[in-house]
Amino acid sequence: FVGNSTYLDDHGPPPQKVLPFPSQVVYNRVGKCGSRTVVLLLRILSEKHGFNLVTSDIHNKTRLTKNEQMELIKNISTAEQPYLFTRHVHFLNFSRFGGDQPVYINIIRDPVNRFLSNYFFRRFGDWRGEQNHMIRTPSMRQEERYLDINVCILENYPECSNPRLFYIIPYFCGQHPRCREPGEWALERAKLNVNENFLLVGILEELEDVLLLLERLLPHYFKDVLSIYKNPEHRKLGNLTVTVKKTVPSPEAIQILYQRMRYEYEFYYYVKEQFHLLKRKFGLKSHIRKPRPRPEFFIPSPLETEEPIDDEEEDDEKWLEDIYKR
């Protein structure tokens, strides 16, 4: 106070916190696609940049009833902004329940590799458990834990066949029951959502480029993420989340998996192509690596390309504006 006058009289109301745009981000992370590494990074980044990291203890409930969707959307929407919410959950349509649609981000990986990582992780966990002599999924019967991956695939056990293998697409398709049925409808709806609601869907095989683009697109959340990721201390942490005791199935078994997961692969190649186009917009090259000798049991796809396809140049600023208008 100076005499009878207050700060407000002399200066007007205190300045309001200016929120970055976007101030609501959802990372509905796909299981076994590097998400624990990214969440470790987000914990560091939220301290560093002062955004609200909202996480969930629920890891195994991706499909929600209408009431559960409304409840979760209400809880997320009332979080202090800027927030980044993360949970293993299939895409939620906020606008359907009258909420502001947040910006979505996600990361996926080669579907067979994701499946194999999950198969062995459920049985044996990762190095963190190994060091503490912890067994993953204690309730699993021993004969199931040591079930040979080839037997599981070739004899069509439920874990190694559809609809269990139809895993990545529902994260993008959404909560509609048809999103869990392997087929064109779910695939097309997932692609549409990627185009309309996701700022970025990255490819785990190119994680450093994913982090670089997140830093460019969402600096308030991801500034310096690449240097933190490359820090040897963080690398040590990341190595503990590597799945242990993985074995490679026979060529015949992989060929069967590939056929069962054809919609997942069509989606994966579509996302990969979009990701390469996005990299190109930012002047990042998709390096043409000498292709590894490719086993014959993998069916090549015309969409699988290391170099993004040519497109007409467009003004970078305008393109960014269009993304934010979505």
- From the list 88, 176, 220, 234, the catalytic residue is 88
* Token code pair at residue 187: 């695939």
Active-site residue, 88 included: yes
6 Rama class: left (phi>0) / alpha (psi -120 to 50) / beta? beta
What is the C-alpha to C-alpha distance for residues 54 and 175, in angstroms, rounded to an integer?
A: 21
Beta bridge partners of 108: 203
What is the C-alpha to C-alpha distance for residues 86 and 88, in angstroms, rounded to an integer?
A: 7
Edge-to-edge strand order for the sheet containing 198-203?
Answer: 52-55, 83-86, 24-27, 103-108, 198-203
Compute the half-sphere exposure of residue 132: CA atoms within 13 Å on the CB side of its CA. 8
CB 124 within 8 A of CB 117: no
Positions annotated as catalytic residues are: 88
